[in-house]
Structure 1
Amino acid sequence: MQTSVNWFEIATKDLTRAARFYEAVFATRLRLEALEEESPMAIFTRDDGQSVGCLTGGDWIEPSPQGTLVYLDAGPDIQAVIDRIVPAGGKVALPKTQLPKDLGYICQFIDTEGNRVALHAMN
């Protein structure tokens, strides 16, 4: 059995601020939803409309630069996404780095909530 990411959740203290950041960095719109009134989420979707993860907040989850590192698809050109990180309020933690054996490029950044998140793209 192959393993793939089924869902991810990125912690926030301020969901509105975090959603603005990720919408600016990825030049997209996130879908706002809530399981309950106390559990709002901003949903990431693939091009086909499939939900793949979200921004969320609450007492049970804490933004952090330590812990699990999620790599988000930067699309065809990682540099275009990297260029939007700082203007959107984030910080580049690991600049564009080429992986060996033609595996593409990565970058790590700190979002507006204090999470360390990563990017991957082939170019």
Structure 2
Amino acid sequence: MERNAINWFEIPSSDFDRATSFYNAVFETTMPVIEMPQPGGTPMKMAMLPASDGKVGGAVVHLPDHKPGTQGPLLYLNANPDLQPFLDRAISSGATLLLPKTMIAADYGYMALIIDSEGNHMGLHSNE
């Protein structure tokens, strides 16, 4: 059985509407939004990122305890087949460019680094 090292991820937001608009523009989609009940309080808002059945999924989330930041694990978003148009949409939607499209190695594709609309340090990866 094939397995991914990552199964689910959450991208924290301080302004849920701004973050949802940013990722809708970057992924050229309209993410469905749900509210997940939380013990003893405010439900967590979740905008579901596009993913195929059985593949790694994730969401832009808003909950007081989830804080955007540049420390901790670095997520690389799938920007296949070519990350440049994905990167261009991110920049035009308010991302800060940290590292432009850069070849990792011939067999490993390309990467770029940004700070998203919420202040999260994010990576982009593609084969071309």
User: Which of residues 112, 118, 122 is equivalent to 1:117?
Assistant: 122
Counterpart for residue 8 of structure 1: 9
Separation in structure 2 between the aligned mates of residue 42 and residue 51 of structure 1, nearest angstrom: 15
- Correspondence for 2:69: 64
The separation in 2 between residues aligned to 1:16 and 1:65, in whole angstroms, is: 20
Kindly tell me the number of residue pairs found equivalent between the two proteins. Answer: 123
Q: Over aligned residue pairs, what C-alpha RMSD do you find?
A: 1.9
Q: Secondary structure at the match of 1:19?
A: helix
Once residues 31 and 48 of structure 1 are traced to their aligned partners in structure 2, the CA distance between those partners, rounded to angstroms, is 15
Q: Is the 8 A contact 1:44 1:54 kept in 2?
A: yes
Amino acid in the other structure paired with 2:14: K
Instruction: Report if aligned partners of 2:82, 2:126 keep a CA contact under 8 Å in 1.
Output: yes
Contact kept, 8 Å, 1:44 with 1:51, in 2: the verdict is: no
Q: Tell me the secondary structure at the aligned position of residue 105 of structure 2.
A: coil
Offset at residue 28 of structure 1 (A):
1.6
Q: Give TM-score, length-normalised by structure 2.
A: 0.87
- 1:50-106 superposed Cα distances (whole Å, 9 cap, x missing partner): 670001122211100121100110021110101111210111111111012421000
Q: 1:2 to 1:46 in 2, by over 3 A?
A: closer
Match 1:104 to one of 98, 109, 113: 109
Q: Deviations over 1:22-41 (max 9, x none)?
A: 11112122110111252111
Larger % of strand: which? 2
Q: TM-score, normalised by structure 1?
A: 0.90
Runs of 4+ aligned structure 1 residues displaced above 6 Å come to none
Stretches of structure 1 that go unaligned for 5 or more consecutive residues are none
Instruction: Give unpaired runs (5+ residues) of structure 2.
Output: none
Q: Deviations over 1:7-34 (max 9, x none)?
A: 0001100111001001111212211011
